[in-house]
Chain A
């Protein structure tokens, strides 16, 4: 099987993700922003596929692009566009934002360089990932090694769901 993880696809998908991200914050129309966010999410799903994690990619598409973003659009569609068009898009705090972004970027670069120095990647053989049994591996990890964390997370989500239902329904 020929590897699909070529640099070309990596740069294409990353470029798409970045383009989507930039469009999300620059579009005036909220619906366009949401659509750009979907582009980013789909590009991320492609990146997961390149990392030989097809299950995560599938879940990313179903949950984020197919589920959550539909609900996003659902709400945004009903908001009056004319009002949001006239509002000022950026407020005056952009200097602080830029400083924060540059700081975070510098941190990422630092971590990348440092980890490269710590672990000599060039000398290490690439890990052979079990692509065929990816889904089974995830199941083993979730319900075996990290059972407690998984259950705590699901309990947290359950509480959130109950809270949402209680707040939305006037009469249960």
Chain B
């Protein structure tokens, strides 16, 4: 039994390839937890960043700087009355949010957080991710139809038209990156002559191809890689129904789009699915164009010193966050009314610092590095999502379809 548990740790593959069910299960649980935390964090960050962009404070009341706001929201949603419209189609109404959440989370089994940090590595990885995420359109359509109401139906129609048409642009952009994997040349314009290259669709092999070619695909054949990346970046926002392409949920026209009739826990499932779908498409973009788990300049800045410097980044990030929290603690009002909040923030700072120190340990440091760089790149994309929402005005629907 113990041998079964430890045998995987020595192997150099993903649990799916090693055929180790236990570790695959552990990875799935970890990814599930990580995603849920990320969605909660996104909820808070989005409100805070949007507020600061509009020179507001954002949530400030629940916990210091509103840190506990997402938890309060989650509890509110869970204990809210779950309303099902009398005219709704019961079974379809029930299945739709479940289907959307399943598709949003299933894509993550092929996301490579590192050379061995993925649940499994399929040889149709990209195809699988695109296919499963395209199933979420079905959930949207089902939700809109089952509500048996006008606004959701129009929202679902808009959403499905938009998602289906942008999927083509997305697929063509992906083909560009997949073709690049077959080149085997080194450098930005490198093409191996003579040897017939085999391309790959596997997520891990795509990143390895970028490693071998010494170039992220976004810079390959500059500016062609950049163009493909730009097309993908636009299509992925339209795919996830986010601003400025959030026509399906345009508040001023359709109240809340396809999930207008949903409330309580079911609504929170839609929320969860939307944010994890955002993370999923960002993960595809990072894998295909931004070198996945590779750290910056893996071939130029080589050697012991640079390895050490880059491996200190995760710990440094957490220590920086801890420092910010400590400064926040010191700047809290000194009134006794704020004592609990001050203590809470100090505790939060202590936890962050503890994680930072834990990441300094050499064995942890080496294992966590690739996950860190992957997550950092995905986090960059998430910030872009918020930034777009804060700055771009919403398109009109016919304009949107013409762009597609």
Contacts and interface: CB of A to CB of B under 8 A. Distances in A.
B323 interface: no
Interface string A86-128: 0000000000000000000000000000000000000000000
Interface string A13-34: 0000000000000000101100
Contact of A69 (B123, B132, B138, B156): B138
A6 B8 CA distance: 24
Contact of A70 (B95, B131, B160): B160
A154 to B, nearest CB: 16
Q: Kindly name the residue among A61, A66, A74, A133 whose own CB sees the greatest number of chain B CB atoms within 10 A.
A: A66
Nearest to B123: A132
B127 A55 contact: yes
Contacts of A136: 198-199
A131 B123 contact: yes
A55 B127 CA distance: 8
Interface residues of A, number: 29
B138 A65 contact: yes
B19 A54 contact: no
Contacts of A57: 124
A59 B141 CA distance: 21
A58 B145 contact: no
A31 B92 contact: yes
A2 interface: yes
Given A1-B17, A58-B124, 13 more contacts: A1-B19, A62-B127, A65-B138, A66-B137, A66-B138, A67-B134, A67-B164, A67-B167, A70-B138, A73-B142, A74-B161, A135-B201, A136-B198
5 contacts: A1-B19, A61-B131, A73-B142, A134-B124, A136-B198
Interface of A: 1-2, 29, 31-32, 35, 38, 54-55, 57-59, 61-62, 65-67, 69-71, 73-74, 77, 131-136
